Amino acid sequence: MTAPNGQYAYYPGCSLKASASAYERSAMAVLERLELRFVEIDDWNCCGATEYFSLNRLPAYSLVARNLALAAAQPTHELVAPCSACYLNLRKTDDHMRQEPKLKEQVNRALAAGGLHYEPGTLRVRHLLDVIIDDVGYEAIAAKVTRPLAGLRVAPYYGCLVVRPFESDDPEYPTHMDRLLEVLGATVVDFPMKAHCCGGHMTQISEDTAFELIRRILHNAAAYQADVIVTVCPMCQLNLDAYQGNVNRRFGTAFNLPVLYFTQMMGLAFGLQPEALGIGSELVPAQAALNKIGQVPAETPRHTPKRRDKDALPMPSRQRR
């Protein structure tokens, strides 16, 4: 079952256009296979991450509400965000505006200065993981699997905000992504730290705090002999992937755990090429893990200009990808 008219309003968030472009690329490739139609909200703005709510709550809610107002203008009531922090901010703003009439009135006064209005409750804000699992379903996903991830040991890492505080599954020990990965043919390892925090913005502010949180998660995944950690959030991916080297240097560890998005795992199982899923942009290379499922490294397209006779007629140059 999909959204009533088969269409979803799509809020990418800043990360998916930059540090997590692999997430967007793989999500779009997988959505096409699943025949889900996502329409990007025109001219959306940043959700403020975890920063604006610490400073000034009314502008923080208003920043998010502009996106809700723009999304509500689309012919669908389903709003999807692939980033857990964006998802939380969108959903929390809708929820708090519904709970607090005064907040609703004040946010709408601010929106009116930009000619916008948002009626809380208009949209159903959802995370991409929940849309894929709840609206497509395990069976329909299984039907698309052409290259099962057999033999690959995966640690399903949910992080915080996809399961807390709005509970789409058990907030302490969720299992819906576990089942999804099993449907793809992977071996899902027990992973007690699956819903613990990656440290969020602390990698920037307090390395002492952040690196210890990252270490615990990596340690746990390594202890259960995972080949790869699978995430649903750009912040989690960045912290576990980009700071894995720092953690190894600080604690004298030798973690070598690639961190991929669940959409990349789906794409691989659907038979898509790793490059079409943005695989290769992770800082801890995933190739060794991919070898286990028979994904041979793609030939690096080397630019070898063909030698042509200098007297040959001029030909249009080949379009580069």
- Contact residues toward another protein (CB under 8 A) are 14, 17-22, 43-46, 48-59, 61-63, 66, 95-96, 99-100, 103, 106-107, 109-116, 160-161, 164-165, 167, 171-172, 196-197, 199-202, 204-206, 208-209, 213, 242, 246, 280-283
- Choose between 115 and 301: whose C-beta lies nearer to another protein: 115
- In whole angstroms, how close is the CB of 121 to another protein at the nearest point? 15
Nearer to another protein, 81 or 107 (CB): 107
CA distances (Å), 2 to each of 47, 71, 134, in order? 26, 18, 9
CB 108 within 8 A of CB 62: no
Nearer to another protein, 81 or 161 (CB): 161
Q: In sequence order, what are the residues at sequence separation of 6 or more whose Cβ sits closer than 8 angstroms to the Cβ of residue 107?
A: 58, 61, 62, 65, 93, 97, 118
Q: How far apart are CB 141 and another protein at their closest, in Å?
A: 28
- In contact, 218 and 255? CB cutoff 8 Å: yes
Q: Closer to another protein at the Cβ: 148 or 280?
A: 280
Could you tell me the smallest distance in angstroms from the CB atom of residue 253 to another protein?
17
The token pair at 146 is 């052409």
| Distance in angstroms (rounded) separating the CA atoms of residues 78 and 72 | 9
**DSSP code at position 228:** E
> What is the Cα–Cα distance from 25 to 8, expressed in whole angstroms?
17
* Least distance CB 54 / another protein (angstroms): 4
Q: Minimum distance from CB of 148 to another protein (Å)?
A: 28
Q: Which is nearer to another protein, 231 or 270 (CB)?
A: 231
Shortest Cβ 95–another protein spacing (Å)? 8
CA distance 125 to 83: 12
For residues 78 and 126, is the Cβ–Cβ distance under 8 A? yes
Determine contact, residues 24/17, Cβ cutoff 8 Å: yes
Q: Which is nearer to another protein, 95 or 182 (CB)?
A: 95
CB of 99 to another protein, least distance (A): 5
Of residues 3 and 69, the one with the C-beta less far from another protein: 69
| Residue 267 contacts residue 184 (beta carbons within 8 Å) | no
> Longest Cα pair distance anywhere in the chain, in angstroms?
78
Alpha helices in 164-206 (DSSP H): 176-183, 202-205
